[in-house]
Amino acid sequence: MSPANNLRARIAETSLLHIMAAHSPLSALLAEEAGFDGLWASGFELSALLGLPDMSLVSMTQHLDMLRAIAGRSTLPIVADIDTGYGNAINVIHAINEYERAGASAVVIEDKTFPKVSSLIAGGRQDLLRVEEFQGKIEAAVATRRDPDFLVIARTEALIAGLGEADALHRAEAYVEAGADMILIHSKKTDSSEIESFSRAWTGSVPLVIVPNAYPDLDGERVRALGNICMMIYGNYGIRAAATAMQQTFRRIRADGGVQNAHKDILPVEEIFRLQKMETVRAAEARFLC
């Protein structure tokens, strides 16, 4: 079974996939152990890990390196966040070749101009491409993929840009005409009203994908009731959780002047050894080292 087959099979098995963002093999392993259906190879999380803003500063090479490392350690299907596709339709052709070869099961391409600015930042520049130009990107992606099961997901930022539901629906319909397998609809409202309204208005032939970062109260039960959303991506929770734990632990160690208190509230080093599969290494040593 190819990585893309794996994702398609999971979609067929369940009405709603839960996809957790990952920025490293370790975060991918933890997401897999927690029972998620797949991984979101997050551009935002990798940018944050590198201490950079999410503004197209991370290169495709850097992102691919992360994805390959994750694919080498996890069995979950990977949905790759490739922002605007690293340029125009010609860049998208190159990107699809590389991401499919690296082990991705799907890519998400958004209809912003390059370089992009993070969707949820207050007052950020949110300029969108012409519909026809983005259709060309989707057509290029679909024509390039080798595995017909490889998903090309078109992400419209029309609601993020304040263009309204009618424009978002028009763009989504145009992207489906260009061959998109799914539509990711994004919103920065702190309630789910825009997303639920779009879902009710959507009559397109492909399912929807959402990223409930700004509107966390929208849970799986309510999403299933809408009937046309097949994937929820938890887009920045991994890096935020990691940063929260490190911030609290580092501050506590500094305030205490040592680790005498902090060590009791963090994972024992043996748990890290388990995640690293040290027992497998020790077994190999016993078998092969003379």
Cβ-based neighbour number of residue 269 at 10 Å: 9
CB 158 within 8 A of CB 164: yes
pLDDT value at 121 more than 80: no
pLDDT value at 281 more than 90: yes
54 tagged catalytic: yes
Which whole number is the average pLDDT over 245-255?
97
Taking the domains of the chain in order of start, what are their residue ranges?
3-242
At 250, the pLDDT band (50, 70, 90 cuts) reads very high
CB 267 within 8 A of CB 273: no
What whole-number distance in Å separates Cα of residue 187 and Cα of residue 202? 15
At 115, the pLDDT band (50, 70, 90 cuts) reads confident
Question: Could you report the per-residue pLDDT of 153-167, keeping only the tens digit for each?
Answer: 999 999 999 999 999
Distances (CA, A) of 28 to 54, 102, 139, 203, 206: 20, 16, 31, 34, 28
pTM of the model: 0.95
pLDDT value at 269 more than 80: yes
CATH of domain 3-242: 3.20.20.60
What whole-number distance in Å separates Cα of residue 262 and Cα of residue 253? 6
Q: By C-alpha distance, which of 165, 156, 160 is closest to 215?
A: 160
Weakest mean pLDDT among 66-80, 88-102, 111-125, 181-195: 111-125
Strands 78-81 and 151-156: unpaired
Question: Could you report the per-residue pLDDT of 193-234, keeping only the tens digit for each?
Answer: 999 999 999 999 999 999 999 999 999 999 999 999 999 999
Which whole number is the average pLDDT over 179-188?
97
Of the candidates 54, 81, 111, 181, the residue annotated as catalytic is: 54
Question: Could you report the per-residue pLDDT of 37-78, keeping only the tens digit for each?
Answer: 999 999 999 999 999 999 999 999 999 999 999 999 999 999
Give the DSSP letter of residue 236.
Answer: S
Which residues, in sequence order, are bridge partners of residue 231? 17, 209
At 260, the pLDDT band (50, 70, 90 cuts) reads very high
Q: Is the peptide bond before 77 cis (omega within 30 degrees of 0)?
A: no
Q: Which helix (H) or strand (E) holds 211?
A: none
Spell 186-217 as b/e; 16+ CB within 10 A means b. Answer: bbbeeebebbbebbeebebebbbbbbbbbbee
